[in-house]
Amino acid sequence: MVSLKLLFKKKNKLLQDSFIIFSTMMVMNLSGYFYHFYMGRSLGPEEYGILGSLLAILYFIIVPVNTIQTGITNFVSNFKAKGEDGKIAYLYIKAIKKLFIYGVLISLALIILSPLLTSFLHLPSTTPIIILSSMIIFALLIPVARGILQGIQNFKGLGITFITEGLIKLIFGIIFVYIGFKINGAITAIVLSYVFAFILGLILLKPIAKIKRKIKFNTKELYKYSLPVLIMLSSLTVFYTVDIFLVKHFFDVVQAGYYAAISLLGKIAFFASWSISIVMFPKVVELNTTNKKHKHILNKSLLIVLSICIPIILIYFIFSELMVYILFGIKYLKISNMIGWFAIIMSLFSLSYTLAFYNISLNRKKFIYFLIFFNILEIILIVLFHNTLWQIIWILMFIMVSLFLTLLIYTLKIKENKPQIELKQI
C-alpha cells in the first residue's frame, strides 16, 4: 500500500508540474499579446493587417507538426516507462533529420509561391514572405524538442522554451519596429524567437543525443497514431484563420487591419480556455479505457470554458471602447462595437473545440466530417457575401452556432456503458 506521505508528495509533484506549464505558457501568451498590441499601435491598421495574414499562413503550416508533437510525447512517455532510452534517442535524431528536410522543402516552396501569395494578399513586396519562409524550418523542429521534453517530464525545460520564445519575440519585435524595419522587423522577431527556443531545446536534450546505443523501431506507427488528430486540428485551425485570409483578399488594407485587431481580441476567449481541452483529453482516454464513466469530465470542462469566456464577453460589451483604446489606440475605436460579438463567436468555438477533443479521445472520428463541412460552408459564405465586416461577423456567428449544436447533438449520443475502441498502444 502506498503511504499517505508518498501520495501527498506525488500529488504535490503533479501540482508543481501543472503550475510550471501553466505559468510559463501564461508568460509566453502574455508576451505574444503585448507583441500584437504594440504592433497594432506602431504599424497601424494597414501593415498590421499584413502581419495578421502572414501569421495565418504560419498557423496552417505548423498545425501538422504540432500534431506530430502529440504523437512524439505519447511514444516517448511509453519508452521512458519501459526504460528504453535508446528508442528515445533514435526517435529524436530521426525526427530532427526528417523534419529538417521537410522544413527546407516547404521553405523553398513558399519562396517559389511568394509572388502568387503577394498578389493574392495584396502585399507591398515578397520580402515578408521570404523572411517568413526561413522561420518554417525552426517551426517544424521545435515540436520535436518540446515533445521529447514533455515525454521525459522535463517540465522546467519545456517551460523555459515557452518563456524564451515569448520574450525574444516581444523584445526584438519592439526593437526592430522602433528603429524602422516595420513589418519586416516584426516578422524577423518571430523568426528569432523560434531559433532561440530551438537552440535552447537542443542544449536541454544533449544527454538524449549523446546516448550511444540508439534502438531502431517502426516510426510509421507514430504517423498512424497522429492522423485523426492531424485532420481534426487542421480543420479546427481553418475556422479561426481562413476568415483572415479572405478578408485580406476582399477588403481594403485598412478594413483588413481592423478585422485583424477584432480577430485578435476575440481569440483571447479561445486561447484563455484552450488548455482545458488539453487537460481533459488524457483523463477521458484513461476513464474510457478502463470502462469508467467520463461524461462528467466533459461537463466540468464545458463549465470551466464558460466560466472563462463569459467574463471576457461581458468586459468586451461593457468596456468595449476602453479595451480597444488601451490595447490598440484611437485609430481602432471604430471596431469597439464589434469585439463583444466576436468574443461570443470565439467562445462558441471554444466549446466546439472542447467537444471535438472529447470525441477524439473516445476514438470517435465521424464528427470530423462535420468540421470539414462547416469549413467549406464558411469559405463559400464569405466568398459570396463580403460587403461589410459586420457581414463577416454574422456569417461566423451562424457557422459557430451551427457547429456547436451539431457537435453537441453528436456527443449526446455517446453511451457510457459501452466503451469505445481504444487507440492502438505501443
Model confidence over 396-426: pLDDT tens digits? 999 999 999 999 999 998 765 454 444 343 3
pLDDT tens digits, 335-375: 999 999 999 999 999 999 999 989 987 878 899 999 999 99
Assess contact for 308 and 279: CB atoms under 8 A: no
The predicted-structure confidence for 184-206, as pLDDT tens digits, reads as follows 999 999 999 999 999 999 999 99
Rounded Cα gap, residues 272 and 424, in angstroms: 31
Residue 91 has a CB neighbour count (10 Å cut-off) of: 26
Q: What is the pLDDT of residues 9-46, one digit of tens each?
A: 544 454 566 567 767 877 888 898 899 889 988 988 88
Q: What is the rounded distance in angstroms from the CA atom of residue 243 to the CA atom of residue 349?
A: 14
Distance of CA 343 to the CA centre of its chain: 17
Question: The pTM is what?
Answer: 0.70
Q: Which residue has the cell 528504453?
A: 84
pLDDT in tens, 87-116: 889 999 998 998 899 899 989 998 999 999
State the maximum Cα–Cα separation within the chain, in Å, rounded to a whole number: 68
pLDDT band at 290; cut points 50, 70, 90: low
Q: Is the pLDDT of residue 303 over 70?
A: yes
User: Mean pLDDT throughout 3-14?
Assistant: 46
Question: Which cell numbers in the block locate residue 276?
Answer: 482545458
Confidence (pLDDT) at 421: 44
pLDDT of residue 177: 94
Question: Residue ranges of the domains in the chain?
Answer: 1-215, 223-415
Q: CA–CA separation, 426 vs 416, rounded Å?
A: 25
Alpha carbons 349 and 423: distance in angstroms, whole number? 26
Look at the chain and count its residues. Answer: 426
pLDDT at 12: 43
pLDDT at 280: 67
> What are the pLDDT digits (tens) for 373-383?
999 999 999 99
Give Cα separations from 407 to 232, 255, 304, 398 (angstroms). 13, 33, 18, 14
Contact 63, 141 (CB under 8 A): no
Buried b (16+ CB within 10 A) or exposed e, 5-34: eeeeeeeeeeeebeebbeebbebbbebbbb
C-alpha 350/C-alpha 361 separation (Å) is 17
Q: Give the C-alpha separation, 188 to 176, whole Å.
A: 8
In this predicted model, which residue has the larger pLDDT, 2 or 309? 309
Decide if 348 contacts 404 (C-beta within 8 A).
yes
AA letter at 241: T
